[in-house]
Amino acid sequence: MEFSAECAPCLLRRILFQTRLVDPSKEEEVMSSCLRMVAEEWQKGINSAALSTKVHRLSYELLGVADPYAELKAEANRVALSLLPRAEELVEGSEDRLRTACLVAIAGNVMDFGIGGFERPDELRHTFESLVSQGPEPNDVERLREMLLGAKEVVYLFDNSGEIVLDLPLLRELKGMGLKVTGVVKGEPIITDATWNDLSVSGADKVLDVCLTTGMFAIGLDMERASGELKDAFDRADLVVAKGMANFEALSDTGVRPIAHLLRSKCIPVSKAIGAEKDRNVIKVFE
């Protein structure tokens, strides 16, 4: 997805948010440097995830930290684990387990801090069931079901910490369909995204057949820098399930197909690009 005018203030708002988490005294230094980089690197056609990755790398270097969101991510996992029993009840009691499991997984996608939505993980406790009750728009769940029934292997791209816990019911549904599932987390901490540690904290490592990382510091996934092992997993997969907006931003311009995007449409540029209204649960398949 191309970086747009509306992406610029959103990106800088997150930079300010994470700077204040670490060291508010560095606000002017970090913001002026990152603003300069946006101005210098923003060329027509540049991918939004690629530019955001560069800006976040600079921000982390200036702040002198490996993971500005470490405490928020740990809290997000705790909150999601407390909601997991209810999430499992909702799926168990549903007439359409796959659809409900997708909506549970999407509800976790709101735990994405610093972009004008939730500021603390605990906010999900008050909105979780309301989010799950909202039907998806677009709704490609039937096409997703058809593709899964004809598949043998799936690559599952995780998004945020906390959110990974609420992916568990969907992972179990995929396993119940007889699928081999390879889960992929981030290779290095970046924004609120799940890393290797979150696999064990969430229990996802016990459900997945194979656990991999992207092997890189990147918003979403840069396929050009992916390892041979990860590329092989994509080549073998009959379907890629990608969680969150960043994976859509990074992969929408690539040849990764077929791919099912499960996300909450939290900004206008992504909403327009994927064909949704803002603040909707999205299940969108690209073949």
Please report the pLDDT score of residue 131 as a whole number.
96
Chain center to CA of 122? 18
Range of the structural domain that residue 191 is part of: 70-286
Q: Does residue 82 sit in helix, strand or coil?
A: helix
* Same domain, residue pair 58 and 82: no
What is the structure's pLDDT at 116?
67
Q: How far, in whole angstroms, is CA 137 from its chain's centroid?
A: 18
Q: What is the pLDDT of residues 218-253, one digit of tens each?
A: 999 999 999 999 999 999 999 999 999 999 999 999
For 110-120, the pLDDT digits (tens) are 988 887 667 78
Helix axis angle, 70-92 to 124-133, nearest 10°: 40
Q: Helix, strand, or coil here: 263?
A: strand
Residue 159 belongs to a domain: yes
Give pTM, 2 decimals.
Answer: 0.97
Domains in the chain: how many in total? 2
Residues 56, 175, single domain; the answer is no
Whether residue 256 sits in one domain with residue 235: yes
Same domain, residue pair 57 and 100: no
Does the residue 36 lie in any domain? yes
99 lies in the same domain as 27: no
The answer to the question of residue 38 being in a domain is yes
Residues 152 and 58 in one domain: no
pLDDT of residue 114: 80
**Would residue 117 count as lying in a domain?**
yes
Say if residue 185 is in the same domain as residue 264: yes
| Residue 261 located in a structural domain | yes
pLDDT in tens, 126-162: 999 999 999 999 999 999 999 999 999 999 999 999 9
Whether residues 98 and 47 fall in one domain: no
Residues 12, 105 within the same domain:
no
CA distances from 94 to 97, 100, 101, 132, 133 (A): 5, 7, 9, 12, 11
Token code pair at residue 18:
């994470």
Nearest to 217 by CA among 241, 240, 245, 195: 195
Indicate if 79 and 185 belong to the same structural domain.
yes
116 and 155, same structural domain? yes
Q: What is the pLDDT along the chain (287 residues), one digit of tens a residue?
A: 999 999 999 999 999 999 999 999 999 999 999 999 999 999 999 999 999 999 999 999 999 999 999 999 999 999 999 999 999 999 999 999 999 999 999 999 998 888 766 778 999 999 999 999 999 999 999 999 999 999 999 999 999 999 999 999 999 999 999 999 999 999 999 999 999 999 999 999 999 999 999 999 999 999 999 999 999 999 999 999 999 999 999 999 999 999 999 999 999 999 999 999 999 999 999 99
Please report the pLDDT score of residue 111 as a whole number: 87
Nearest to 156 by CA among 92, 110, 202, 115: 202
User: Same structural domain for residues 88 and 221?
Assistant: yes
